[in-house]
Amino acid sequence: MWSNSLLRRAACFLAALQLAVVPAAGRAAHPFLTDDTGTQGTGNWQLELLGQRSYLDRSADAGAGPVRQESRETSFNPVLTYGLRDNLDLAVGLNHLRYRVTEDGAVTDEASGMSDSTLELKWRFHESGDFSLALKPGLSLPTGNENRGLGTGRTSWGVTLIATYEAGPWTFLGNAAYTRQRYGLSQDEAASREHLWRLSGGATWSVADGVRLVGELGIRTNGARDDPFQPGRNGQFAMLGAIYSPDKKVDLDVGVRRRLNRAEPDTVILVGATFRW
């Protein structure tokens, strides 16, 4: 049986990947995980500066009696997107991750540094009135140190099918995503799942000029196997937030994601800023 520290390290990294910029986990406007079909247009750029802080505080018995575990993760993810064509984008994402785990007050694992990076395409292949479809394939590149729990050690890949429907002040989003996660260390491979799925949907509501309220529900594969502090094969989550756009070139956002079962972190605070030119 793998140690609590090893399971926790795998869970920390996989949770950060799933909440950040892994392939098949793209976003519409942050703070969504669910992506939309919008693209930048030929020759246009977009820079997203995305941050999040996740919290987990639970007790569990891993076989040697009850243990109280507290986990804190912070990530910062700049993502630069360029419009290759009106319906085709190329995006490069970086990821800085910091995490700290304590059990009964004693630090059992912590690290800070660059995590794995991403390279993605988004192709909007169908448009019919207010309805559109897109595909988003991508790679996760092993730029993080897997020995410190900051990366997987191998290139992974994924793809997302995206649907968007616009109806007046409302926009509805839906995603079906798959990631093939690969690992450089045998202990990470044994403690983690390799086939990760996500089904999620969300909506935005324009309540005033430049102000949108957003919400999201989703279910996804729990990346860690047999973690007593985050048990279950599939995590379920909900998010509520808001986006403020002082003009068409800038978005500022905030959101809170909460678990709907124990396979997810307790709470994730999301903040972001997006700039277009």
Q: Look at strands 45-61 and 211-221 and give their pairing.
A: unpaired
Domain boundaries, the chain: 4-276
Angle made by CA atoms 208, 271, 258, in degrees to the nearest 5: 95
Mention the CATH class of domain 4-276.
Answer: mainly beta
Summarize pLDDT for 4-46 with one digit per residue, the tens: 555 555 555 555 555 444 443 334 679 999 999 999 999 999 9
Is it the case that residue 137 has pLDDT exceeding 50?
yes
Say what the pLDDT of residue 13 is. 53
